[in-house]
Each structure stands twice: as structure tokens, then as C-alpha cells.
């Protein structure tokens, strides 16, 4: 079968429109700008990790404590939150925050999945 025949079979309405030279036209009244689009992520969800997400990537309690100190300095957690986290690390351990999240976790499991 020729390429023309394959095209006609795959797209019969478009093929007919082209053969009859009855192509439809539409007037464009404006141009969409980047600001008018819903978001710049192309429809993907965005995600900002929190202290627990960072802790779940740690291998040791000392790494988790280092993360806590960093987040206090960045003012992403309060000193009282840090105290609670340190207490939980000391009494219940690192995995009390959840199983370890490996590199590229969200690529493999998505944002809402654990």
C-alpha cells in the first residue's frame, strides 16, 4: 500500500478535507503568554520536601541531627520543632520517621506515594 493510501486509511476525514481543498480556517484573536498558562511545570505537581523528607534520606542519626541544625539556621523549622525531632531521634530512632527514601525516590514512586 502506498503512503497516500496509508494516510487516507489512518486519517480519512483529514484526507477528504485536503483532497477537496475545503480546509477549515480559524481566526486567532490573541496570543497566550507564559503568565497565562496554568503553571510552568507542564501540568506536573511540584513538591517541596520538609524536615521529615530530609531525615528519611539519612543513614545515621548524626546525619539527621546535622539536617536539623541546618534547617534551624535556614529558619525552616523552629527551635521547638528541632527539640521534638531530636527527642524522637534519641528515644525512637531514625526510622521512626519512616523507611529510608533512596535517591530518585519521587521519580520511581511519584509525589504522593510512600
Q: Which pTM was predicted?
A: 0.53
Q: What percent of the chain has pLDDT over 90?
A: 33
pLDDT average, residue stretch 77-103: 89
C-alpha cell recorded at residue 103? 535517591
Q: How far apart are CA 6 and CA 1, in angstroms?
A: 7
Give the pLDDT band (50/70/90) at residue 26: low
Amino acid at each position: 500500500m502506498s503512503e497516500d493510501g496509508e494516510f487516507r486509511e489512518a486519517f480519512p476525514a483529514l484526507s477528504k478535507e485536503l483532497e477537496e481543498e475545503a480546509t477549515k480556517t480559524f481566526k486567532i484573536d490573541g496570543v497566550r503568554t507564559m503568565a497565562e498558562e496554568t503553571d510552568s511545570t507542564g501540568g506536573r505537581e511540584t513538591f517541596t520536601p520538609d524536615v521529615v523528607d530530609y531525615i528519611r534520606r539519612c543513614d545515621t542519626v548524626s546525619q539527621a541531627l546535622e539536617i536539623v541544625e541546618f534547617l534551624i539556621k535556614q529558619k525552616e523549622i523552629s527551635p521547638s520543632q528541632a527539640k521534638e525531632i531530636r527527642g524522637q531521634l534519641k528515644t525512637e530512632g531514625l526510622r521512626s520517621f519512616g523507611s529510608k527514601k533512596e535517591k530518585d525516590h519521587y521519580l520511581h514512586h511519584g509525589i504522593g506515594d510512600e
